[in-house]
Structure 1
Amino acid sequence: MESPTKLAWVDATAGLAGDMLLAALLDAGAPLAEVVSAAEAVVPGAVRLSRTEVTRAGLRASKVDVEPLVEDPPHRTWRSIRAAIEGAELPEPVRDSSLRVFARLARAEGRVHGIAPDDVHFHEVGAWDSIADVVGVCAALHALGVGRLTVSAVALGSGRVRTAHGEIPVPVPAVLELATGWQVLAGGDGELATPTGMALVTALAAECGELPPMRVEASGVGAGTKDTPGRPNVVRVVVGTAARDDAGTEVVLEANVDDLDPRVWPGVLTSLLAAGASDAWLVPILMKKGRPAHTLCVLAPAGRADELRELVFQETSTIGVRESDVRKTALERAWVKVAVLGTHLLVKVAHRGGLIMQATPEFEDVARVAGEQGVPVRAVLEAAVAAAVADGLVAGGQLPRSG
């Protein structure tokens, strides 16, 4: 099993779209079968994905074609897309990443059009093929074992473009909203970056910058539809192992809150995690005059601190957020399937260089199997632990190779 701790860098200096990024990840070695399986889980029977090799300005590249299998796919709201992803049988990291991308896109579109994110109609983004692009990219990153994504400055384009709302300037409003806080350049004429592409990298990437220090293990080139003479219309991806000192600084955001209905807190934590927080938790405290309260703590990648700080203000009643820089040292992680009660569930394995430190069944998988089999969660949990031990997933053991 590949460890999800590899580093990937996206070269978007020629532009960026969801299908281009997906093609680049497939070109770098992500298995098409896993991408197809993930898309089929969310939009069953709606699309067919295929991969071909093309040239763009003389440069070889992979191209992904998404063929709709349904006529006139309906426009979708963020609410309906969220329900489809949450109800799909996907690995937890793929589900969480997909939700994070669409949540970011919904907030951007909602701000542009002045409506609530849940009520956003995505138009072309709501079509099945674009949903397949987002879920496919998240599945491809998971299959490659990518735990940290970074991106170059993004070429947005210039000029004007016709849309369902009429002729508008490039970059289009949603792309410009999504680009806030990220390095961009014009890069050429026309619309070079799509909202889907921008949402993917700004929701999933830890930071924006030049190619980071790494040991390169694979690279891939994904093609756009147009073949522009003199300017290869491609996205490149470089996958490798990060230098040990490239772990990066994270930020802890904290806020003391004593006047929020406690029933709201689970939704607050879920929203923060969906928006890209590395972790989020509550600490019970006593404030002045003995008032019971909570400290909300959010561990945020440096590139997400501004967005998560704003979300704390939106989702809670706090009037101030304090923050401090921290440096996180984390064990590598991998997910391994074990057989339990005639089905499979995932065990999260924490390891250091392949030496297992901890192995814990994924609780959501345990709860799912318990519901499907009609047995107590405790019984499934005990069976999963026993299956993990039987498969050698114990402290001091070796992480099994993918096979």
Structure 2
Amino acid sequence: MRSNELALVGGEPAVTTPHPHEPWPPAPLPGELERLARQRTDDIGIRGNAGPIGELEREFRDHLTPGRTHSIAYNSGTSAMLAAMMAVGVGPGDEVIAPVLTYHAAVSPARALGAGVRFADVELGSRCLDPAAVRAAITPRTRAVVVVHQWGRAAALREILAVAAEHGLAVIEDCSHAHGSRYDGRPVGTWGDVAIFSLQANKAVYAGEGGILVTDDDGIADRAILAGHYRDRARADVRDAGLRAFWESGYGLKLRMSPFNAIVALESLRRFDDLARQRQDALGHLNDALVASSTVVPVEVPDRRDMGAWYGYKPYLSDAGVAVGRDRVVEALRAEGVEVDAPSGRLLARLPLFAADDAPWRAAAGDEPSPMPDEEVAERFPRGCFLEANALSLPTFYRWPDDRGVVEQYLDAFAKVDAHLDRLAAVPAGAAAGARPPAPRDAASHGR
């Protein structure tokens, strides 16, 4: 540690490593660029799941969701979720249960299908759906439960699946944050009726934009194909004779992945194990060391091996940190050179998209949507509200052991803030010397 005086009031910053601390995605290898160039020459069209698209579907399924029977590529994770909801029968008048604190695209396709959304609170430790809150949210209109494995941590799948089975509900796993993560030693994406993965640029397996849907159910697979594919793919792969009648048109949407995105995703998938292991080592070291912090509570990880590649590192403030306030803690850590911010995502119950039962685009010009009142939000989602107000967003280091130096500097920065927590409240706001360091790219805004 270079100096124990807070940089906020003139001390030397603890972090001297230049920003950014998480340059992602990694630079392409020569083989990836060569294959992209060759594809441009050979074929830029989409012909069913021929070429790199089918190759990606098979390798992704076999590597990350072994045992699943079907895998289908889409142009985004949002499209994959739309296809999953259509495939399990979500439609007008239905309801979908989803976590109140996650990225909106995990559940926004329900609104496009004319369905309502009932939010359930999350667990403080896992940040995932609370099974008891799922049970309390069920109504006669409920059709499906969307289980988001938030920030790479698996949700309580056994309990949620038991509740869903009791009420005859479909379970859709959103594994966009959880490539390679496991629950009870079994990969996420292999538990529910259907699962989707986003391959957006900031995901552990990235395509730039893309998504994958996996399932064991032949009927779900048929309907999911028709939700975004038609002609060659539908004619070749749809099994049900009645559904095959739609082969020329599908269900009217074109949600297919391009071969260029498939190539990028294939190359990132083949690097996944090595990069995931480095991220586990780096964030495991950081997380273990922050147990000693008096400012933050580190991420709850029952078994580090089950975290896959993580996705975002989001500790939350301790009681002492809460007493000082997140804005002050963030300001102090930034002054030390830490890339830190508040996660950008609000509770979904606050968004206008989910304010009305009717489709939002039907609202008359000038109509004000009326999201859930703050008082009701606080009463129904106390843990989500706490995390919304008190979580921090830090880089997800992945170049280990090369990142050891900057991780140790981060720990020095937290130690300095720990030592001066009771002073921070007395430091005038905006007192940090020098330019404000850039905030990290928050994974909550990375999209599906």
Q: Could you say which structure has the larger radius of gyration?
A: 2
Work out whether the TM-score is over 0.5: no
Structure with more strand by fraction: 1
Query: What TM-score, normalized to structure 2?
Result: 0.26
Query: What TM-score, normalized to structure 1?
Result: 0.29
